[in-house]
């Protein structure tokens, strides 16, 4: 029996999100989605415009049941669990969906949380932003964006990042493997602290 966790719990468990465009061949797109999830993508965000966005989302959801599948604004009314918004002020449009947006400052992150966003994406190149988010001042899921290489991700992890948002389909597997080991080590540290 397969247990499908609610979107909020799946978001909490997501380490890697990949933002991409669907290819026009439906079978090829479905195969890509299935492979991305096997590689470790916990969330796939489609960008448009795409006349067949509903079909692309439907195909992705059928083969990616463990992962969240969403769409980036602007988009019409489509069946999706996640909407990656252009602005946190758009949350009211997407009641009942997991929503999030890109932020470039801690004030914007606070605004996203106040607007009801479930997650935010922070820019790895904004000085001090990762460290501030990692300090736990905001009770929301956040991803780091702007990592082009494993070294970039390692630097972001050293500053406190634990999730990555990528546009690079090739990096899903390596990023996921690295983050899996980081999360495993964190859980071991917590278990050791609880035993002491």
pLDDT tens per residue, range 49-59: 667 788 888 88
For residues 76 and 47, the answer to whether their CB atoms sit within 8 Å is no
Q: Are 54 and 78 in contact (CB under 8 A)?
A: yes
Is residue 177 very low, low, confident or very high in pLDDT (cuts 50, 70, 90)?
very high
Where does 7-195 sit in CATH, by number? 3.20.20.70
Q: Where are the domains of the chain?
A: 7-195
What's the CA gap between 70 and 57, in Å, rounded?
Answer: 7
81-120 tens-digit pLDDT: 899 998 888 888 888 889 999 999 999 999 999 999 999 9
pLDDT number for residue 181: 93
Residue that is written with structure tokens 């997501």 in the block: 14
Report the 3 state secondary structure along 58-79: HHHHHHCCCCEEEEECCCCCCC
């Amino acid at each position: 029996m397969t247990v499908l966790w609610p979107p909020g719990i799946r978001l909490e468990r997501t380490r890697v999100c990949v933002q991409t465009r669907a290819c026009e061949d439906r079978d090829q797109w479905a195969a890509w989605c299935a492979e991305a999830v096997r590689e470790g993508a916990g969330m796939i965000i489609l960008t448009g415009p795409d006349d067949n966005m509903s079909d692309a989302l439907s195909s992705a959801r059928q083969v990616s049941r463990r992962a969240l599948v969403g769409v980036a604004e602007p988009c019409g009314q489509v069946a999706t669990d996640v909407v990656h918004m252009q602005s946190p002020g758009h949350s009211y449009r997407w009641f009942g969906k997991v929503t999030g947006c890109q932020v470039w400052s801690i004030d914007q992150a606070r605004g996203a949380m106040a607007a009801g966003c479930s997650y935010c994406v922070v820019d790895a190149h904004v000085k001090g932003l990762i460290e501030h988010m990692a300090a736990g001042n905001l009770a929301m899921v956040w991803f780091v964006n702007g990592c082009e290489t494993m070294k970039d991700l390692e630097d972001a992890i050293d500053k406190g990042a634990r999730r990555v948002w990528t546009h690079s389909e090739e990096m899903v597997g390596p990023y996921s493997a690295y983050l899996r080991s980081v999360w495993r080590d964190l859980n071991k540290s917590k278990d050791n602290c609880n035993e002491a």
